[in-house]
Structures are given as structure tokens and as C-alpha cells.
Amino acid sequence: MSTNETIDQKNLSSQEYALAGTEVKPMIEIRGLAKSFGNFHALKGIDLTIAKGTVFGFVGPNGAGKSTTMSILATLMAPSDGYAKVDGFDVTKYPHEVRKRIGYMPDFFGVYDQFKTIEYLHFYGASYGIPKAEREALIPQLLELVNLTDKRDSYVDTLSRGMKQRLCLARCLVHDPDLLILDEPASGLDPRARIEMREILKELKSMGKTIIISSHILPELAEMVDEIGVIEHGAMVAVGNVTDIQNRLRVKRFLHIRLHDRVEEAEDFLRDRPFVNRLMRDETGLQVHFGGQDEEQSELLLELITAGFRVISFSEAQTNLEDVFLEITKGGGDNL
């Protein structure tokens, strides 16, 4: 399908079609986005581009600016400066076109407890102008996607928190949006419910949806995202592919060393070695925060063996998303 055909299917006016153009656009384009509340600067001129079909993980501590950015993208809040576009449409100038293209799930959402699950989805489908015959075919598919088929006739107030989260996600999908904006979708869920939510998001990714998702459950987030953006104090401190950012942080490596004996002596020996920044001992061996490169790492191993220490294993620990987050937000992002 050509780009022109895709735009025609959006039922745009001629003016909007001319504005959209025919070139391929990113799904999200943010430039100089700022938001102030009095003297408090929630966002400080952030720039961000997210390609169509990307699953983007938005990472940051509470109060960093994630929800503010998402609220602006969802047309619920106007920026103080800069702009944000969704599928080429400015969220301030063309909010109605943006809303057609997004499904927004806030971190705190409301449900109508006196509705049955199927009634709840029919209500939102009707709100988007979807004819009843189409809703009758669509809603069973949505319930199957979010694993709520057996709850179709249950009242919303009888559902668990995890089920309500999945119902809210189904509500976001009722109009088949191109972009999903999910603010802490796994917040407050038990481990089983988080796994269920993760599997649903993987399925949506396979369907080609563009997803921007914020989460504090970083290891699970790493399994599904293509890129991450780390925000702190209203500023983007790192953006990129998870693996690339991990590799760039390998200048601060974590080594795991197991010894046959003389562990305490080895601990004292290693503290005096170059590039050893921090050293910890646990039941599995020594954990070394190491600032050298491959050559210095091999030299350290040679020094241990030359000094008579019997090394069982000497390996570099895999940096995970939590390591990345901790390093960047304490200053590691300055060099990314």
C-alpha cells in the first residue's frame, strides 16, 4: 500500500492531506518540548523521535517528566514551549486528528463499575462512532487478545486489578489506533498479572503497533522494547537502542571472579590494582566494578594468576537495563 493510500484511509480534509504530505514521517516527533507549572519546570526542552512500529521504553524516576510528556502527546495538556507531533500532526493544532490515532492508558484510570465488561467496550466503541454491527465482531476479538473472554458478562467491579488493567488496554484498542501511549501499565500488578500484560504487549508489537511505554519494572521492559529514553529532572539524558547504550556503558564493567581459596587476600590484592573502582564480596565470589578496557581486564587476570591465586572463573557480568538506568541517572549519561 502506498503512503497516499494510507493517508486517504484516514479521511482527512484536503488541507490536512496537504499538511500531512506524502513523505514517510516518524510516529512521534518532539522538539524543544517544555512544560512549566509556575516556577517548577517539569520538562526542559526535550527532543525525541520515534519511528513507526517502534516499541519505546520511557524510563525515569518518579517526577522526572514521563507522565507530563505522555499527557502532552495524548492532547490532555498543552506545552509551554516547543512542539510535539503524532503521525505528522501537531498535538496542539490538530488534537482531533491525533486522538484518532492514539490509544492512551494513564497510570491511574477510571472504569465504570456498574457496566459489564462487554457493555464497557460497547460504550467506548460507540463513543468512537463505530457501528454496532462492527462492534459485535470487534469486541470478542479484543476480549480474546486481553484474555478476558470468560469475563465478558462479568461486572467491572468484580474484576481483579490485573483484569481491569487489561480491560483498559482493550478500551484503548477499540478504534484500532496506530500509537499506544501506556503510562505504567504494570503498576500495582502482582507477578502473574505483569507477565500476562507483558505477553499482550508482545502480541501488539507483533501486530506493528507503535508503543511508548513507561515502567519501573526495567528487566521486563528490556525484553520488549526496541529503544529506551531515560529522562531525569525534565531532561532527556540518554536515548537509543538498549544494546548500544549497554555497550557504551561497558567502560564501567562489572567483573565476577571466583577463586578456589585465599579470597580475603585476593580482595586486598585487587583493591590496589588500577581501574578497580569498587569491590564487593558475596557467597559466589568477588564483584568488581572495573573501569578498564579489554586489555586492562586481561592484564588483571594475568596479575592474579602470577600472584599465585587459583582462579576458578573470571567473567564480565551482563549489564542489564537496571544497571544502565542507575549509571545514567547518577551521571553516566553525560558521556552517552
Pairwise CA distance, residues 119 & 155, whole Å: 9
Confidence of residue 240 (pLDDT cuts 50, 70, 90): confident
Q: Is the pLDDT of residue 94 over 50?
A: yes
Per-residue model confidence (pLDDT) at position 258: 92
Query: What tens digit of pLDDT does each residue of 102-124 get?
Result: 999 988 767 788 899 999 999 99
DSSP letter at 92 equals T
**268 or 336, which is more confident:** 268
Q: Is the pLDDT of residue 158 over 90?
A: yes
Per-residue pLDDT, averaged over 128-154, amounts to: 95
334-to-58, 78, 291 alpha-carbon distances in Å: 18, 29, 16
Question: Which residue carries 479484543 as its cell?
Answer: 142
CATH superfamily of 28-239: P-loop containing nucleotide triphosphate hydrolases (3.40.50.300)
Per-residue pLDDT, averaged over 265-283, amounts to: 87
Residue 47's nearest CA partner among 244, 214, 231, 247 is 231
**224 or 77, which is more confident:** 77
Q: Is the pLDDT of residue 21 over 60?
A: no
Q: Is the pLDDT of residue 180 over 60?
A: yes
Q: Indicate the domain borders of the chain.
A: 28-239, 252-335
Task: Report the Cα–Cα distance between both ends of the chain, in Å, rounded.
Answer: 38
Weakest-pLDDT range from 5-19, 109-123, 238-252: 5-19
Identity (one letter) of the amino acid at 207? M
pTM to 2 decimal places: 0.73
Q: Is the pLDDT of residue 17 over 60?
A: no
Confidence of residue 16 (pLDDT cuts 50, 70, 90): very low
Query: What tens digit of pLDDT does each residue of 200-226 get?
Result: 888 998 999 999 998 765 666 667 788
Q: Is the pLDDT of residue 188 over 90?
A: no
Q: Is the pLDDT of residue 230 over 60?
A: yes
Q: State which H helix or E strand residue 163 sits in.
A: helix 161-173
Per-residue model confidence (pLDDT) at position 244: 74
CB 227 within 8 Å of CB 50: yes
Q: Is the pLDDT of residue 4 over 50?
A: no
Q: Is the pLDDT of residue 5 over 90?
A: no
Per-residue pLDDT, averaged over 250-261, amounts to: 79
In this prediction, what percent of the chain has a pLDDT beyond 70?
Answer: 83
CATH of 252-335, one of 1.10.3470, 1.10.540, 3.40.50, 3.30.70: 3.30.70
